Each structure stands twice: as C-alpha cells, then as structure tokens.
Structure 1
Amino acid sequence: MIYQKLRGTDLKVSEIGLGTNAVGGHNLFTDLNEVDGIEMVDAALQLGITFIDTADIYGKGRSEELIGEVLTRYNREDVVVATKGGRRWFADGSVVVDNTPQYLRSALESSLHRLKTDYVDLYYLHFPDNKTPLAEAIGELAKLKQEGKIKAIGISNVSLEQLKEANVHGDISVLQSPYHLLDRSAEQKLLPYTRGNNISFIPYGPLAYGLLGGKYTDDFKLAEGDWRRGQPLFEKEAFKKSLKIVSSLKELAEEKETTLTNLSLAWLLSQEGIDAVIPGGKRKDQVVLNSRTSDVTFTQKDLDMIEGIIKS
C-alpha cells in the first residue's frame, strides 16, 4: 500500500481509501447486510487501508455507528476518519441542508458520539445550503479545528465560485467532488484551482457508481429506490455509450493483466492533484480487489490509449 500526505495537512493516508455509504446506508441502498459492512471495514484496515470516508447522512447515523464499532478494535491514531455534516434529518423522514454554525457544531458532536472518538481527522461540509454564507459555515469549522475536534476541513458538492468563497481564509484542505473516467468535468475548473491552492482533490464515485466495475450489460436496470436512478450516467443513451467505452477499457485492462476496477482507480491516481481515491463497496472481497490498484503502473502509451478510448 502506498501512503500520501493530504495537502495542507499533517494527515498521511493510504492512497486507496474506503467509501462507506453502503455500510449501514439503508436510506441509500436496499437489502444491506450490516455484518458484511462491518467485515468490509475491518478487512480494509487489516489490508493497510487507513483512510475511511463516511457521512452522518449515510443511514442517518448508522454508517458512523458501525464504523465506530470497528474503530474500537484498532489504535485510533492509525486510522484517518473522514465524515461529513450539514444535512439535517427529522423524525418524519424529511432531510434539509443546514449550514448554520449552531447546527454544524451539534452535527459534529453527534458524529463524534457515534464514531466513539473525540476528534475527526477530516470533516467536510457535505452540501451548501445556499442560505448560510459559506465563509460563515467554514468559519465555525475552523473554530472546531482550533478546539481540537477536527484536524482538517473539507468541502464537497460545490462549484468553483462556492469553493473560492469557502476558502476565502485558506481553511479548506480537501475538496471532494465527482471525477472518474466517464465524467471528467472536474478538469475544467475545479482541479486547476485545487492544484494551484494546495488543496487535495478526493474524487467520489471513482468507479462511476458501479459502471467501471465492468459487470453491467445492456439489460441492466436499477432497483426501485436505488439512489443512482437519478444519475445522468444511467439514463438510457448515456448508459449505452458508457458500456461501449467500458468494453474497450476492459480489453486494455486485460492486456495489462489487471482489472477494469484497478485500471480506473489507478488512472485517477495518475492525475496531478489526486492524492487518494475512496471506492465504496458492500463486501470485503471488493476491498481486497481495490487494494491491488497500487500495483498498476502506466506508460505514456497506456495513458494515450485510455485518452483515445474515452474520446472515441
């Protein structure tokens, strides 16, 4: 496993992390097995994957609770835990985005309780509420950092203009945003800014929400209630186009004696400014597969071939 330091922080993370929206994320996925989720997190840590990414909204606190259970079996200082706050849920099932300083403080305290820890290594503002000034919201996180409850501040799901507003005092260390082989829009504005401002870019959905796993066929359909049903990638024509690209990428992966999953993750890590990736999963065998990504290397010819496939 290769370890990298997140820019502007003292956090050293495994370049292969673990996204845990399917660990207790019953509000996002159907038929989740919590035992599988716990075993997956445990397997990741045993493999040297030290960067665990979650959010309070995943399972409305349940993902954090399960991760907290696993953390009690390890040295806390050996694990870099990232979570997110700013989405508030109510007993009637409704969810609103709330970036007010008072709510962010209470949300962090709740996350700390569920994670069974007294600090979070990386805390993200999950979504902007388009009401609270971002500088005000991040200002509260900066206070929590001074208090030792947060080691580094991140933000996700923002435009370049919002990122600049949030980073007005240079408090942002990490941006989490969509980026993968089938969606490279981040290269237009966000990546140039993060590269120029000492901010680590952590792609989410690095495997295109399953498409870059290479197992989907033309007749694949998302189940009712699957949160991906609203994703443009799964609309009929976009899905068909993506499958063609995936087929060609799989051929290249086979030539390199690797998998499409590993090739896709390794490609992201080869991009300037990408210090780690956080592929998700539901089972420990997926974590074992992802951990082999660090073994993949590219020649310039490989990178040119990938570029040609994507643009074909």
Structure 2
Amino acid sequence: MQTRKLGKQGLVVSALGLGCMGMSEFYGNQDETESIATMHRALELGVNFLDTADMYGYGANEELVGRAIADRRDQVVLATKFGIQRGEDASFRGINGRPEYVHQACDASLKRLKVDYIDLYYQHRVDPNVPIEDTVGAMAELVQQGKVRYLGLSEAAATTIRRANTVHPITALQSEYSLWTRDPEDEILPTLRELGIGFVAYSPLGRGFLSGQITSIDDLAADDFRRNSPRFQGENFHKNLQLVELVKAIAAEKQVTPSQLALAWLLAQGQDIVPIPGTKRRKYLEENIKAVEISLTPEDLQRIDEVAPKNVAAGDRYGDMSTVNR
C-alpha cells in the first residue's frame, strides 16, 4: 500500500483509508463480525487510516472501531469527529462548536474508542453560532493535553479554513469529492494547497452509486438513508444512472471495475488527496484497494473529464445543504 502525507505537520497515512460509518448506521443491515473482519483485513493489506465519528450509530461506531483495534492500536491512524449532536433517541439536535463541548466530546470519544489519543480529530460541521477561532482554540488545547495529535475540519468553506489555520495548523479537510461531486476543485483545493493542508475525500464512490451496483431504488434497504437523498430520487436517479453507464464503459475498456476507476481518478487528482471509501465487507474492501495499482493516462483522464464534468450529477448532495460549506 502506498502512503501519502496529509498536511505539513508530519501525518502520513495509507493512500486509501476506510470509512467505517456504514458498519453501524445509514446503509441498511449491520454485521459486527464481518465489520471487524473488514477492519482487520484492511490493516493486513496496509490500509491504516480508519475514519469514524461520534454521531455514527449514536456512538456505536466508535465503540465498534475501538473493539476492532484494541490489540493493534499501534497499526492504526485513527480519525474521528465531533460537533453533530444527537439526542438519546438518536434524533439530530444540531451542531455544537462551543469550547466546553469540544472537551466533553473528545473525552467521550476516547472512552468509547478505549484509546489514549486520537490521531486526527475533525470538527464534523462548522457551528455558525460559535467563531471558528473559539472552536479550534479548544481543539488546540486537546493537542497540548496529548489527547489529539492533529486537527481537521469537515465541510468548511475556504474563508473558515483560513481563519481556523491561524489559530492552530489544520492538517486535513474532509469533504465529499468524487466524479459526481467536484465542487472542491473550485475554491477549496486551491486554498488547501496554498496553506499546505491535506484533503480527505469522503463518499468517493458517490455513496455507492458509482459502483454500478445500484440500478433501482429497490436495491436499497427500506431504512437506507440514501432513499431520502435527492440524487437517488425520481428523475435525478435516472439521469445519474446515465453517468454511471458512461463510467462503466470506460472501466470496461480498462478492465477494471467502475469503483476502481472512480477511486483511481481521485488518486490522480493530487498526492495530497486521500479517499476513504466506506464498506462493511471484505469483498469490496479488497476490490477498492486495487485502485492504487491503476495507472490512468492523460487521455484516460481527459475522457473521464468529458463524461463526468463539474456539476454533472442531478440533485443536491443532501436534502438540507445548510450545514455544509460554511
């Protein structure tokens, strides 16, 4: 497995990470045994960058990751997030970036993960009611206390990233980036590169759509959150299927899967980009990992650009876009 540097502070991770969210929530049924086996297999194959958050499964995902890495903490670059609050009934209660909450959230995550420190700690969403300087100031205190090694933001706007970086060096920004979400190319990536901040791409397979495995809304479980995603609904769904067919055609010519092509394309966008495809099965993990071996020519990249230009996807990324890019 190749490695990549995130930021200028010394963090080195595998070129692909593993998003663990779906192991606990949002993507249908869960299988703890297979999920833990998937994390262990990832580590065996050199994927050391595991991504979770305190809101995934209302804390259950952190506990699951903690169990998986209990006897192999030194092999893992562990990333988690705080800021999206949920009630005891798992309802969403809003975003909290208050300094006192930053400390409370970190302590709670450390307890659930059963670790002494977190490698990369992100603010999951920016709190519009708390100056980013105050939130990052509290996060910096966690670094000073040895509870956190590196700091990150998620779905933050360029101006917010600049302000945060003046308080404490930001190592990575995590945001959605894929062949059907190329918004970061406009302003975010140039800002990150100017400041020396790495980019962690979540949903690099378009929430599974770019895998080519989803051809009907009925392919999704009844409780799968994608059923409520604008890009998976009505006419948007059918338009986006057309994009997938074009990606599948190029992948077939390259003798790779659509998922591998989509990941290889992202990896080719810069050495500072680390995709974190999520999966809860070893089968798909092993398929995704092979993307690092794929070499795309300039001609390949041009063809992909032509079939998947900016703004090609039909529909918003979320039903409510008010919490992103602020």
2:223 maps to which residue? 225
Q: Counterparts of 1:66 and 1:50 in 2: how far apart (Å)?
A: 16
Give the structure 2 partner of residue 22 of structure 1.
22
Distance 2:50 2:217 in 1: 33
What do you get for the CA RMSD once the two structures are aligned? 1.7
TM-score by length of 2: 0.90
Give ranges in structure 1 of 5+ residues lacking alignment: none
AA in 2 matched with 1:80: V
Count how many residue pairs are aligned between Structure 1 and Structure 2: 309
Q: 1:171 to 1:117 in 2, by over 3 A?
A: same
- Per the alignment, residue 84 of structure 1 pairs with 81
Residue 221 of structure 1 and its aligned partner are, at CA, apart by 5.8
Asked if 2 retains the 8 angstrom alpha-carbon contact of 1:195 and 1:273, the reply is no
Tell me which stretches of 4 or more aligned residues in structure 1 moved more than 3 Å.
218-225
1:109 alignment partner, SS class: helix
1:106 corresponds in structure 2 to 104
2-structure distance, mates of 1:29, 1:256: 29
* 2:217 and 2:227 in contact (8 A); partners too: no
Partner residue of 1:135?
133
CA distance in structure 1 between the partners assigned to 2:154 and 2:266 by the alignment: 18
Amino acid at match of 1:280: G
Cα displacement (A) at 1:9: 2.5
More displaced stretch, 277-286 vs 170-179:
170-179
Compute the displacement of 1:218 (Å): 4.8
| Matched residue, 2:322 | none
Aligned residue type for 1:49: V
Alpha-carbon contact 2:199-2:273 (below 8 Å) kept: yes
Match for 1:95 among 84, 92, 95? 92
The residue aligned with 2:176 is: 178
2:273 match: secondary structure: coil
TM-score (norm 1): 0.94
Within the alignment, does 1:162 sit opposite 2:145 as a pair?
no
Q: Tell me if the contact between 1:88 and 1:95 (Cα under 8 Å) persists in the aligned partners.
A: yes
Deviations 1:89-109 (A, max 9, x none): 232433321111111111111
Q: Which residue of 1 aligns with 2:8?
A: 8
- Offset of residue 31 of structure 1: 2.1
Q: What is the deviation of 1:115?
A: 1.2
Query: Does the aligned pair in 2 maintain the 1:22–1:37 contact within 8 Å?
Result: no
> In structure 1, which of residues 176, 194, 197 is the aligned counterpart of residue 195 of structure 2?
197
1:115 aligned to 2:113? yes
Q: Over residues 259-289 of structure 1, what are the superposed CA-to-partner deviations in whole Å (9 max), with x where a residue is unaligned?
A: 1111101101111364311000121111111
- Letter of the 1:284 partner, please give it: R
